[in-house]
Amino acid sequence: MNGKPETPDPFRADSGWLQIIEGDSPILLIAPHGGRAGAAAHALLHPRINDLHTAEITRELSRRLGAAALINRAMDRNLLDCNRVEEIARKAPWVLTRMAERVARIAQRHGRVIILVIHGWNVIQARIDFGLGARLSSGRLQPVSSAHITASERFINGPLSHLCVRLETEGIVPTFGLRYPAAGRQNLLQIFTPRFAQSRLEPLRTLARLAAGGAIDAVQLELSVALRWPGALRDTTIGLIAETFSTRPHARGSAAPMVTARPHNDAVRSKRAKAIGRAPFRFGVELFDPAREIGVMASMDVYGGGGARVIMLMPGGRVVICTVEGKLELRRNCITRGPIRLSADGCRVSLEFSGPVLMVPDAAAYLRMERALAAGGVGHAAIRCTLDAAIRTGPICFDPQFFAIGKRQAGFGIAQGSVTMQGVTYPLRACGRVGISLLGQPERPFVSRTSLWGYFEDRGGVKAVEARVEHRDNSGRVENGLVLAGDTAIECRVERLAPAPWSPGDAPSSIEALLTCGAQHLQMTASPISFMALSRPGPAGSRVYTSLGFARFQMQDGVGSGMFECSASASAPDGAEKPQE
- For residue range 4-14, what is the model confidence (pLDDT) as tens digits? 556 678 899 88
Q: What is the pLDDT of residue 7?
A: 64
* pLDDT number for residue 171: 96
Each residue of 462-514: pLDDT tens digit?
999 999 999 987 767 888 899 998 778 899 999 999 999 898 889 999 999 99
Q: Is the pLDDT of residue 48 over 60?
A: yes
CB 361 within 8 A of CB 391: no
Cβ proximity of 524 and 555 under 8 Å: yes
CATH 3.40.630.40 fits 18-260, yes or no: yes
Average pLDDT of span 92-121: 98
- DSSP label of 276: P
Mean pLDDT within 129-155: 94
Q: Alpha-carbon distance 165 to 147, whole Å?
A: 26
- Which stretch of 91-95, 288-292, 300-304, 376-380 has the lowest confidence by average pLDDT? 300-304
In the chain, what percentage of residues exceed pLDDT 70? 89
pLDDT digits (tens, 9 = 90+) for 405-442: 655 678 999 999 999 999 999 999 999 999 989 887 66
What's the confidence (pLDDT) of residue 275?
A: 39
Read off the pLDDT of residues 290-348 as tens digits, 9 standing for 90 and up.
Answer: 999 999 999 999 876 689 999 999 999 999 999 999 989 988 889 999 999 999 988 99
Q: Is the pLDDT of residue 397 over 90?
A: no
Q: Which of 513, 433, 413 has the alpha carbon at shortest distance from 467? A: 513
One-letter amino acid identity for 45?
L
Confidence at residue 407, expressed as pLDDT on a 0 to 100 scale: 58
From residue 210, give the alpha-carbon distance in Å to each of 106, 108, 117, 449: 11, 10, 18, 56
Provide the 8-state DSSP code for 160.
I
pLDDT at 556: 85
C-alpha dihedral sign at 57, 60, 65, 70? positive
Q: Is the pLDDT of residue 581 over 60?
A: no
Closest CA to 548 of 522, 530, 575: 530
Rank 286-290, 395-399, 557-561 by mean pLDDT and report only the highest: 286-290
**What phi and psi values does residue 542 have, to the nearest 5 degrees?**
-85, 175
Going by pLDDT thresholds of 50, 70 and 90, the confidence category of residue 401 is confident
Is the model more confident about 256 or about 181? 181
Average pLDDT score over residue span 158-180: 95
What is the domain partition of the chain in residue ranges?
18-260, 281-570
Q: What is the mean pLDDT of residues 51-65?
A: 98
Q: What is the DSSP string of 494-528?
A: EEEEEEPS--TTS--S-EEEEEEETTEEEEEEEEE
CA–CA gap between residue 392 and residue 44 (Å, rounded): 44
Give the C-alpha separation, 376 to 564, whole Å. Answer: 24
Strand-pair category, 424-436 with 448-455: unpaired
Can you give the three-state secondary structure of 365-412, one letter per residue?
A: HHHCHHHHHHHCEEEEEEEEEEEEEEEECCCECCCHHHHHCHHHCEEE
Q: What is the mean pLDDT of the chain?
A: 90
pLDDT for residue 373 is more than 70: yes
HSE at residue 498, side-chain half, CA atoms within 13 A, is 6
Query: Which amino acid would we find at residue 513?
Result: A
What pLDDT is attached to residue 271? 40
SS3 string, 481-496, reads EEEEECCEEEEEEEEE
Residues 210-238: what's their mean pLDDT? 98
Q: Strand 259-260 relative to strand 140-143: parallel, antiparallel, unpaired?
A: parallel
